[in-house]
Each structure stands twice: as structure tokens, then as C-alpha cells.
A and B are shown apart, each in its own frame.
Chain A
Amino acid sequence: MKAKKICNRLNKAIEEKKNIYGFIHSVHKRAFNIMTSEFKLISVMNCEHSMAPCSLMLDREENFVSLGIEQGMRVIIFEELIDIPQVSLAIDLMEAQPWDPTPKFVVDKAKRSEIAERIAIVEKCIYEFGRFEGIAPLVLRVNIRKSGEGFVHSQANYNKYCKFIEKKFLRLIDHLQEDRLKEAAKIAKKIMGFGPGLTPSVDDVLVGIMLSLIYFLHYIGEDRLEAKLLSEEVLKAVKNETTAVSFKMLTFASKGETNEDIRQLLIDIFSNNRKEKLIKSLKKVLTFGASSGTDIICGIYLGCSIMINKYEVKSDVCSS
């Protein structure tokens, strides 16, 4: 079995350390996770998945459950080979192409008025195609966009998660809107790990917020510290507050790193001439997990809306 792509940071780590030991942390049909002895999570995905930080992708469609891989099995990574002896499975890393997880910032930027228009499309897509088992109904209920009417979300989908977290979540938005970033980070810490799913709903929203702040600040050419500050504070507390998979995702998002499809979505929001592709990217991300994709997009929608409002006084065309 061969790997087709590998995150270049993971590749480097494997090259530097002769042997890495770990065990199977979790197994799904199209991906499995390895927890190393240093508590780093490595994802191995079949070719139907898109690349993500600290991951590698195989060259084929493989069902890992039917291969007999089970939680707790021992894994050894050595000399460009991942070995799971109990099921006699070896993954050859020799021919894997490196994949760069860092953010791809936009050079050919969209106009500011277009960004607002695209965020309206994002909102519409969440409303029409989203899954509302997590806290998306709460995000949609906050009419954050100054330029648009916003949708009045159906009360019927306002679930117990939304009701429980409503007050704290609204305080987080208030702090973000009023630039009280330390307070925002404190609230973010308090609500982390909440909601259904292996990556809890609130964490997915926070991932979206952090990514959108990083991309937005780069877009407007501002060297402000919002994104870093929020991310650093969030990360201080995150490790013991949420699941290992979610911790990995939040850690990377704090650096603007994310899955290939989410990165493409962010590029489509901020680039010139990508409007047509935006809906396609949105629909792709919306299919993630049960409601994870919807929740991440909600975070992006929220982060971008707050930033649009904050920087609305500036000129229409942004400088690079």
C-alpha cells in the first residue's frame, strides 16, 4: 500500500526521528488516526479525503475498518514505512508527494463590496443546505451582517445545545465585535468542547472564526494581532477541554492551517473571480461529518461578518 501525498511537516518529523512509536487512536471507514508516544495525532486517509495538516493520503480507496484495523493496535513508523504488525499492513511513504499545510493567502483580491456579497452567499448556503444538529441555528439567529437583512432562522431547529450555550456564545460575539479580545478568548475557553460530535460543535465554529480572522486580516493588509491573540489564548486552555481530534484541528487552525477543502473555500471568499466556485466549495465543506462542515462554515461566516462591520469605513478596493 502506497502513500500518495504527505503533509511536509509530518514528512520532516519522520525524517528527523528514526523511529516513531504509537497506537491506533480511532478508526473510520475512510481514515484512521495514530496517536504517537509524544501525543501527536497523525491521520491516514484514503484517496477520497482531501489533505489536511499532519496527515497522509493513500493512493487508493480503502475501507480501513474492513482491513481489520482496530483501536489500540501498535504502530511503528520507521524508514519511510508505517507498519501495523497485527494486521500485517505496511504503508510505503517513499513516493508520497509533499503537501504544504500553510495558509494560501490571496494575491488577486476581491473588492470589499464583493466580500460582503459573498458572505451573504455563505449565509444563504448554510440556511439552505446546512445541518442544524449543532449550534448553527444559534449562529444564524445572530443577525451580524449590517449590510443584509439576514435570515430569520426557524425556531424549530433551535435545539438544546443552542439554548444551553446561548448566553455565553452571545457574550463571545459581543467581545469580538467590541474588540475586547482577551475577554473573547476567556469566553472561548469556557465554551470549548461543547456540543455533539467527535469534534464538538463549538470547536468547529471556533476553528472557522480563527481561520476567517487570519485570512481577513491578511486580506485587508492589517498587521493586527486579533487572530494571534485569540488563537494563543484559546490554545492555552484547549488541550484538556476537548477531544484529541478537535485539539489537533484547533491547534492547526490557530496558525491558519486547515484541510484542503476549507482552505479552498477561504480562497474563494477572498479572491477575485472566484464567486462561481464559492458555492461548489461551500457545498463540499457542508458534507463534512454530521454537522461539522456547517459549524465550521458558520464560524467563517461569523468571523468575516464581524470583520466586515469593523473595517467598513475603509476604501472599497483593498491594497495588497
Chain B
Amino acid sequence: MFVAAEIKKNTYYDSVYLMRITKEIEKTEGVIDVLVGMGTELNKELVSSLSMMTKEIESLGPNDFFVVAKIKREEIMGVVTKKIDSLMNEKKKNNVKEHSPATLDSALKYNPEINFALISLPGEYAIEEAKKALEKNLHVMLFSDNISVEKEIELKLFAKQKGLLMMGPDCGTAIINGIPLAFANEVSRGNIGIISASGTGAQEVSVLIDKLGSGISQLIGTGGRDLKDEIGGITMIQAIEALEKDENTKIIVLISKPPSENVAEKIFKMLNNSKKNYVVNFIGSESKNVSNSKTHFAYSLEETAKMAVELANKSTVRNKEVDAKCKKAIEELKAKEKEAIASAKNMVGNLSVQRKYMRGLFTGGTLALEAMNILRGRGMEVYSNLAGDERFILSNANDSYRNACVDLGDDVFTRGRPHPMIEPSIRNERLIKEIRDEDVLVILMDCVLGYGSHENPAGEIANTLNLAKKDMTNEENDSPIIVVSIIGTNKDPQNLKESIIDLENAGAIVVFSTAQATRIVAEITKSIGEC
């Protein structure tokens, strides 16, 4: 073991920044442990007890700052020191000439034409700020959760009365006039409008639409509870009315976890009177009697995107090039899946017979639900921390049991820690745990790129897989098969191509939808006859 240390005498960084430095250094390949802090006696004792003491740190006083990292190999010492140094200087760079209005009023003073507010504050403040924004005639996207149903109704009715959209609470994804907001991807613009009560569900559909050569007019999030009885689908209904009027939207996609009967009925009634084409994916729920031939039901996010694109292509003057591009993309996706199944089946032969279970480690709740539904549809018993069949609820979400799909964005995992889409350490830890489980045959994961997500989620998975490999001394080939569904476009801030290469180099099978990835997992488990 080696130790890389950097000290700054009489230097002060605010604690939020210190945490960021810690997390960034921790992620560096070859780093085992990191401590960042002030040189107080007890902090130095801790450094010593973790075998990270250096002469420089020994001499520090309480007003001196240190960063110390325990590393595996001497040759990466320079890399770590350089990273620490650049992080410290980055702070200064970023602080210069930054304009960040601290209040809504000052933002409106800065630009009076603003008509949309994205609010991300702890629930209690968020309500007041949302009210303020609505009073000032701004549409609101409310990212915050922990807001009561009563308050949600109050805000939504107030917005409706003013002819404004109240997206959320708990609305994590939107693309308005081509601008991705919160967790969203950079997708092409087109004539498909999406209204969604599910964030990652909307992300996957919008990305697949982009991949199939079409684009999005608007993506409107409603918040996860909008289609429950209490709320009555206020935002979804308003959004449908808005997109019905929007000349640039030809096809409308509705996505949600299963809605309440009454709300679904209300929505279907609207669709019966519509002249536009709809694709409806109310995940896991049965199709309803809709007397309108323009409404189509899809059963997976992948199918939703394909249907929407096919309808979009039909709705405009036939363009051979667009059609051909779409067909080509579908063929490529099919070929990729076929190839992946063949390669996975080859891998199975090298694994110990004891391995028989699948484990799904998801950062997106809807994606976990979709995977679980597909697997259960194929007769597999899958345990989960997601609400549903009580017989298959995991008694402890921290421990998988038999076949299991875990939503790592659940409150159990995120209290006091960032969501794994932002900071993947929760999943990295769990991934290591599942890899070490000798009963696990295949691990299924999502990798969501785009704005709001971690800067390199694929790199995080790949690093973890590489670390796990290094830990294995014997029977090197006997580790679970990894299948990753990557959700992202070439235009996203993360590099899609490099992300795929990183994952494949680390031994993962990479495909482009949750449904594809889940089908591969189902084939793998079927191949050993242990479903």
C-alpha cells in the first residue's frame, strides 16, 4: 500500500466542497481509502489508525487542511496528487463571475420574460416557492418530493385555474421546447409528445425514439402520483389538452405506473374524442376498452417507442429515408440482441453449476418494474423491494433473495445519501456484494446517461467490475454474467460510445433497452433450466 497526501497550510474550503473532493478521489482507480479534513489531533489519530500517516500530516495544526489517499500502486501516486490539485484549483475557477440569482424575484428582475420555474428544494420550502412561481404566472416543474397529497392538489388546482402547468411534485424528467430539464437526455426534436408520470420510463422512451430516427416535441412530466384517485390526473389531463392543441405534436405517448381505475377511465374518455394518435403504456396494466382506433397500447418501453415512431412516420408525408433509417435501427437492435444472447449462452458454460439466480440492480424505479414484469411474465418468481405481489417482497432490501430486482433509488437506500443516478456508490457496493454471491448467475443493470445523471455512470460500473475481477484470485472465469441496458444518446454530456466500450471492456453485455436486457437475462436463466 502507498499513501498520497496533499496539504495546505492555513487554507479553508467549505465543507460541501470538501465532501466533493473526497468523493472524486475515492472514484480514482486504485484508490482504497480517502480522508479529507483539518489537521486536528484526533483527525491525525484517525489518519494514523488507517495507516495513512505521513511526516507532513504529522506536523499539521488544526487550521491546516489535508487530503490523504491510500493507494494500491506507487505509479498512480502522481495521478492522485494531480487530481487533488486540480480539484482544489477548480473551485477558484468555478467561483469566478458566476451568476446565480438567489431568489425568484431577482431571477425575474434579471430576465422578466422567464415563464417557467424548476424548483428543487426540501418539501416544506418547495411548496411556498411553487405557489410564488404560480402567482407570478410561471409554469412549474417541481422536482422536490415529501409534499403531502393535499398540498399537491392545492398547487395543481391553483395552477389549473391560472391556465398553468404544475409538473410534479416528484417530477424528475422533462424536455420543454427542446431543453432537457433535471434528469433528461439530449434527443432530437420531432413530432412525438410524451406525457409521463415516470421519469426513467420517459427517458428510455425518448432515447429510443431518437435512436429510431424520430424526435420529441415536448416531454411533460406529471409527478408520480398524478394518476392516483386523490389527484385525479389533473396534470396529465391538462398536458393532453395542451398537446392536442400543439401543431408540432402529431403523436402523443402516455407513460405511467398503473393508474387508478377512475383516472384511467377519465383519460380514455378524452382519447376517444381525440383526432391524434396515442400510444399508451400504463406499465403492467391491462389494455382498456377504447373505441378509438387511434389509441394503441404498448407493454414495454421499447414497444412504446417503436409504435410511436411507426405512427409518426405514417403521420407525415412518407419519407423513404426516414423509414429506412428506422427499419435499419430496428434491425440493428435485433441483431445486437441475438448476438448478445449467443455470447451470454457461451459464457454460461464456463460458470459453476451452483449459479442459478438473476439479480437486477436498478437506479430507475420504472426500469426495475419493467424488468420484473417481463421476467414474471415468463413465469419466473422474482423478489423485489417494489410494491406489488406481497409474496415476493424482499424482507430486507439490503439482501437479495433468489431471483431479485432491486430499485436502489428507493428511500431505504437514499436517506442521507444522494440518489444512485447522481452518485453511484450505493450500487457499486451492492454490485460487489452480488458478484461475490456464489449463487448468482446473471446481474442485470441500467445505466442512465443524460443531464442530471452522474458524469460517467458507465465508468463507475466498469471500474467496479474491474475491481471485482482483481479481487478474484482463483477460478477467474467463474463470476456472474453482467447485462447492462444503456439509456443515452450520442448528444448526451457523457460519451455514449466510450461508455459502451468501457462496459464491454469490463466484460459486460451492453444493449439499448430494459426489455432487451431483460429478455437476455431470461434466456440465460432459462438455459440452465432454473427459472
Contact = CB atoms under 8 A, between A and B. Distances in A.
Interface of A: 25-26, 28-29, 48, 61, 63, 65-66, 71, 127-133, 136-137, 154, 156-157, 160-161, 164-165, 190-200, 202, 240-245, 279-280, 283-284, 286-287, 289-292, 294
Nearest to B19: A290
Nearest to A130: B416
Contacts of A129: 122, 146
Contact of A242 (B14, B40, B101, B106): B40
A132 B416 contact: yes
Contact of B46 (A161, A240, A289): A161
Interface in B61-113: 62-63, 92, 95-98, 101-103, 106
B42 A66 contact: no
Given A200-B40, A243-B63, 9 more contacts: A61-B102, A66-B98, A127-B415, A193-B38, A194-B42, A196-B36, A197-B18, A243-B62, A290-B19
B417 interface: yes
B418 to A, nearest CB: 10
CB-based closest 6 A-B pairs: A193-B40, A26-B12, A194-B42, A65-B95, A132-B416, A197-B15
Residue from the set A128, A136, A198, A244 with the largest chain B CB neighbour count within 10 Å: A198
Interface of B: 10-16, 18-19, 22, 33, 35-38, 40-43, 45-46, 49-50, 62-63, 92, 95-98, 101-103, 106, 122-125, 146, 398, 412-413, 415-417, 426, 429
A195 B37 contact: yes
B41 A25 contact: no
A196 B15 contact: yes
19 contacts: A28-B14, A61-B101, A65-B96, A71-B11, A128-B415, A157-B416, A192-B42, A193-B41, A194-B46, A196-B19, A196-B22, A198-B14, A199-B15, A200-B40, A240-B62, A242-B62, A243-B12, A245-B12, A291-B15
Given A243-B63, A290-B15, A198 B95 contact: no
B95 A66 contact: yes
A198 B40 contact: no
Nearest to B91: A65
Nearest to B50: A160
Contact of A65 (B92, B101, B415): B92
Contacts of B62: 193, 240-244
Given A26-B12, A243-B63, A48 B18 contact: no
Contact of A29 (B95, B103, B415): B95
B124 A132 contact: no
A164 B40 contact: no
A224 to B, nearest CB: 29
Contacts of A242: 38, 40, 62
Contact of B42 (A191, A284, A291): A191
A179 to B, nearest CB: 26
A25 B102 contact: no
Contact of A71 (B12, B40, B413): B12
A200 B122 contact: no
Given A164-B46, A243-B40, A283-B124, A198 B398 contact: no
B62 to A, nearest CB: 5
A66 B426 CA distance: 36
B43 A195 contact: yes
B19 A133 contact: yes
A118 to B, nearest CB: 16
Contact of A154 (B15, B41, B95, B415): B415
Contacts of A194: 40, 42-43, 46
A61 B22 CA distance: 29
A289 B13 CA distance: 11
A241 B15 contact: no
A192 to B, nearest CB: 8
Nearest to A70: B92
B122 A287 contact: yes
Nearest to B126: A283
A193 B43 contact: yes
A133 B36 CA distance: 12
A137 B415 CA distance: 11
Given A61-B101, A196-B19, A289-B16, A71 B42 contact: no
A286 B122 contact: yes
B43 A132 contact: no
Nearest to B36: A196
A310 to B, nearest CB: 28
A27 to B, nearest CB: 8
A156 B414 CA distance: 11
A162 to B, nearest CB: 11
Contacts of A131: 416
B361 to A, nearest CB: 15
A250 B43 CA distance: 18
A244 B38 CA distance: 11
A6 B429 CA distance: 48
A290 B16 contact: yes
A48 B14 contact: no
Contacts of B398: 154, 156
A127 to B, nearest CB: 6
Contacts of B41: 193, 241
A199 B97 CA distance: 27
Contacts of A200: 37-38, 40, 43
A29 B98 CA distance: 10
Nearest to A164: B46
B84 to A, nearest CB: 15
Contacts of A25: 12
B415 to A, nearest CB: 6
Contacts of B12: 25-26, 71, 198, 243, 245
Contacts of B102: 48, 61
A283 B122 contact: yes
Given A199-B15, A280-B124, A132 B42 contact: no
Nearest to A30: B102
Nearest to A27: B12
Contacts of B46: 160-161, 164, 194
A265 to B, nearest CB: 13
B25 to A, nearest CB: 13
Contact of B37 (A71, A130, A191, A196): A196
Contacts of B417: 132, 157
Contact of B125 (A128, A283, A294): A283
A219 B37 CA distance: 37
A248 to B, nearest CB: 12
Residue from the set A194, A202, A287 with the largest chain B CB neighbour count within 10 Å: A194
A127 B166 CA distance: 29
Contacts of A48: 102
Contacts of A137: 416
Contacts of A154: 398, 412, 415
Nearest to A61: B102
A132 B415 CA distance: 9
Contacts of B42: 165, 190-194, 202
B428 to A, nearest CB: 12
Given A157-B417, A243-B62, A164 B37 contact: no
Contacts of A164: 45-46, 49
A196 B482 CA distance: 36
A161 B98 CA distance: 34
Residue from the set A192, A283, A292 with the largest chain B CB neighbour count within 10 Å: A283
A243 B45 CA distance: 16
Given A128-B415, A198-B18, A66 B43 contact: no
